[in-house]
Amino acid sequence: MTEITHLTIQTNGINMHIAEAGEGPLVLLVHGFPELWYSWRHQLPALAEAGYHAVAPDVRGYGDTDKPHEIEAYAMREMVADYIGVLDALGEDKAVIVGHDWGAMMAWTTAALHPERFRAVAGLSVPYLPRGPVPPLQMMDAMFKDKFFYILYFQEPGVAEAEFEADVRRSLKLFIWGASGEARGVSGFATAMANKARDAKLFDNVPDVEGVPPWMTEADLDYYAGKFEKGGFRGPLNRYRCMDIDHEQLPEMQNREINLPALFVYGEADGALSFSPMDPMKQLVPNLKLVSFPGVGHWTQQERPKETNEALIDFLNGL
């Protein structure tokens, strides 16, 4: 199997750790929350063997990449500059950018703002959501009223950090299970996550579950836990605290089209799609291909690595 190598590059004023494999056209893989470059462990060798230079960074705030303290340092404008800087640091004029979860929103936005630097864009799990007419937190407040919603819970600095960091391995395990395709088969899990009061905590009443989902190993969970025990959750959570900042800073994203070749891959059992509609994307991304996986939850490329690799390579080879 192709070897994955690691190095640190400078981009947009920070040191960024990247994992890479292969040679050829650049494919930049951007992870989501609460993940690492490691969530692309199945894609890096497959893309390399298909003739591509696959690069997966630890996003700012994560893993072995720098972790600025300020909330504003995690605004989408900074994230976009990070990835343009990766292309520059690697001496590449163009790339294909692929993202999952928050990484998908970063990929969509980066491609929308800098189409001259990208041959194509792919998002996993989270569709392209253009800037709405009102700030997103205001909209979520109105939608969820007195009900718990994790993004609103994440807003107060220090609160979610304390809950996640009290037992990092358990927190990650519950969060991963909760958003997986298998969660519905775990007694009481979905109910505990869904029916909570606004002032509840994320893991209140969530039952402990044995082991890890079948697509993951205990060693995989250990790798994630080790990095988050060292780096904490402030940086990753700060991204959620920038949603209204992004709305203010990026008015040019209002109904902005993406005319590049585009791919959206999603699991049909992904709860994120219940509050991230696909219709706006279908209107604003004319060169869009959709691929769906029945029974798959939120962790698309980890839950179905073989099928995800096939979808990505087919898309890349068709450019």
pTM: 0.97
Clarify whether 208 is annotated catalytic: no
In sequence order, the β-bridge partners of residue 7 are: 18
314 catalytic residue (yes or no): no
Predicted pLDDT of residue 189 = 63
Q: How many domains does the chain have?
A: 1
Catalytic choice (17, 53, 247, 298): 298
User: Residue 18 sits in a domain of what CATH number?
Assistant: 3.40.50.1820
* Residue 274: predicted pLDDT: 85
pLDDT of residue 90: 98
The whole-number mean pLDDT for each consecutive block of 10 residues of the chain, a chain of 319 residues, reads 94 98 98 98 98 98 98 98 98 98 98 98 96 93 91 97 98 94 72 80 89 96 98 98 97 96 97 89 97 97 98 98
3-state secondary structure of 317: helix
Q: Domain range holding 275? A: 5-317
- The active-site residue out of 58, 101, 246, 270 is 101
Long-range contacts, stretch 244-249, CB < 8 angstroms, 24+ apart: 244/135, 244/136, 244/137, 244/138, 245/71, 245/72, 245/75, 246/75, 246/76, 246/77, 246/131, 247/131, 247/132, 247/135, 247/136, 248/135, 249/75, 249/76, 249/77
